[in-house]
Every structure is written in structure tokens, then in C-alpha cells.
Amino acid sequence: KSQGRNNIQMFGEMQASAPGYEDSEMTARFAAAVKQNLLQVYYQPVMDATNYRNIVGVEALARWHDEKYGWVSPAIFIPLAENLGLINEVGRQVFEQALNHFSKCSGVCANLKLALNVSKRQLVSNDFYEMIVAMVQGYGMNPGQIILEITESIALQGVDQAKSHLQKLADAGFSLSLDDFGTGFSSLSHVHELPFDEIKIDISFVRRIKTPEGRVLVKTIVDMGHAMQQILVAEGVEDSETADILREMGVERLQGYYFSRPMPKENCATFISELLQINEL
């Protein structure tokens, strides 16, 4: 059992089939943490592939630290929140925190984009649109600064249902990103029907890019995405060789441990201002 606990503390390699579902203690502790507004938000920079010193924006990633379980991966607690009917509240708290941080960083962050993850229940819930529009306005921000990341399986489960929600958000000026691309069973023709601006190539493809098959796969996604006027983003870039291959393929934006791990807002602000100073030289 202690082995299981240790696994829960690891980020990255975990499956969304959460062992936490049967773990009523974790469930209770999570619900209490949400109630007390204890979730945190970390930020991971997204870089311009043509110049590794240019930052395009940051992705907000939810974090939960529990005294008993340590850092629990969002791959565990986001599905848990969905099951508990808490996902709208979790999403609201994450957005609120991220918009608050981002608006306070307005000098340094003025030209940066803030990417927020949106789960299916959130997207299709009745008040999501009103909530996000009001919140962005309330923090004096422009929807054009916000990228909403929707996972592929979500976007394509019910294309028609998702479409009207996505179209409304696009019309309001939000950028829409198709997250985890390649993991679902979609065809790119579905992408064409939906108002996405950006495709995020899933980490599982990026990991295989140094093999000949992996390279062909990624190149195919990139070329088809570009043919559909999409911006291509690669996640999970862990070394310079991978970054260079992606850049040569024409991927516009890169994200991953090679550039930076997700980090708390203070470290993120330092990271950004250091980059900006370098750019001014």
C-alpha cells in the first residue's frame, strides 16, 4: 500500500484511471481541499519555436498538495473532481487564481497568452460561457489573451454538442486549442468542423520523435494541421534534439521540461523577466 502512495506522488507517468476512486479517504480530503480553496496553480511557459528565448505564454496547471498523500497528480484529482461533481467548482477556482495572478503581472505579461484547461463537463455546463466571460472582464483582461485547451476526446465525443459551445467562445474572442491531439479516434476532418486555432501534439508522439516512425507520424500531423490553418504546439519537449526536430518540421510553439517545468507564480515571473532582459540585449 505504501508503494501505491508513492506512485500517487509522481507526476507525469500516471494514467487517468485513478486508484483514488475507491479511496474514500482521498476523496474526502480532496473535497475538503476544494471547499477550503486549497488548490494551487502552477505555470509552464510555452516558447516560440523560432527563437527559444521568446516566450509566447504560459499554461495554468492545477496542483493539489495534501498532508497525507503529498503532491497528487491532476491526472488523479481532475477525474476525481469530475466524478464528484466538483469539476465546475475546481475549474472556477483555477481560473480565478490564474486570472488574478496574470492580471497582476500585466506589465511583464501584457503580450503573453494564458492557457487554461477546460474539461468536458465544464465546457458543456450551462453557465460556463457566462462565467468565463464575466471573470475575464472582471480582471480587466481581453479574451484574445486567453487560450482555452480542450482535450481531443472531449471535443469529438459529440461534435455537434461541443460545436455550439466552442463557437460561442470563439466568437467572444477566445483562442481554442485542441489538447492531447492524436490520442483520440478523431480524424482531422472533425478538427476542420470545429473553430480551433491551435493543435497540441500529444506528449506520446513527441516522445517517439527520434524514431523514424515517430518522426513520420509527427510530420504528418504537422503538415495536415498547417493545411487546416492551425498553429502547431508540441508538449513534452524534454531535450534540445527534440526541440530542433520539431522546429525544423515547422511546429510554431514548444513546451516541456527542456524549457521549464511547471512552477509557482513567483518563479514564473522571474523566469519571464529574465527572458525579457535577455531579449533587450
Applying CB under 6 A, which residues contact ligand C2E?
11-12, 44, 61-62, 73-75, 78, 91, 94, 117-119, 149, 179-180, 203, 235-238, 256-257, 262
Q: At 250, list the grid cell.
A: 515547422
| Residue number with CB closer to ligand C2E (11 or 271) | 11
Q: Are the CB atoms for 189 and 159 separated by under 8 Å?
A: no
Residue 149 sits in the site that holds Ca ion (CB under 5 A): yes
Q: Which does 262 bind (CB under 5 to 8 A by kind): ligand C2E, Ca ion, none?
A: ligand C2E
| Shortest distance, position 230 Cβ to ligand C2E, whole Å | 17
| Shortest distance, position 200 Cβ to Ca ion, whole Å | 5
Distances (CA, A) of 265 to 111, 171, 231, 269: 17, 30, 26, 6
| Residue number with CB closer to ligand C2E (227 or 243) | 243
Distances (CA, A) of 114 to 126, 167, 194: 23, 19, 21
d(CA 99, CA 115) in angstroms, rounded, equals 10
Q: What is the DSSP string of 42-57?
A: EEEEEEETT-TT-EEE
Distances (CA, A) of 116 to 5, 23, 25, 143, 234: 28, 28, 29, 12, 16
| Shortest distance, position 242 Cβ to ligand C2E, whole Å | 9
Options 27, 117, 119, 242; binder of Ca ion; rule CB under 5 A: 117
| Shortest distance, position 77 Cβ to ligand C2E, whole Å | 8
Residue ranges in 170-199 that form contacts with Ca ion under rule CB under 5 A = 179-180
Which stretches of the chain bind Ca ion, using CB under 5 A? 117, 149, 179-180, 235
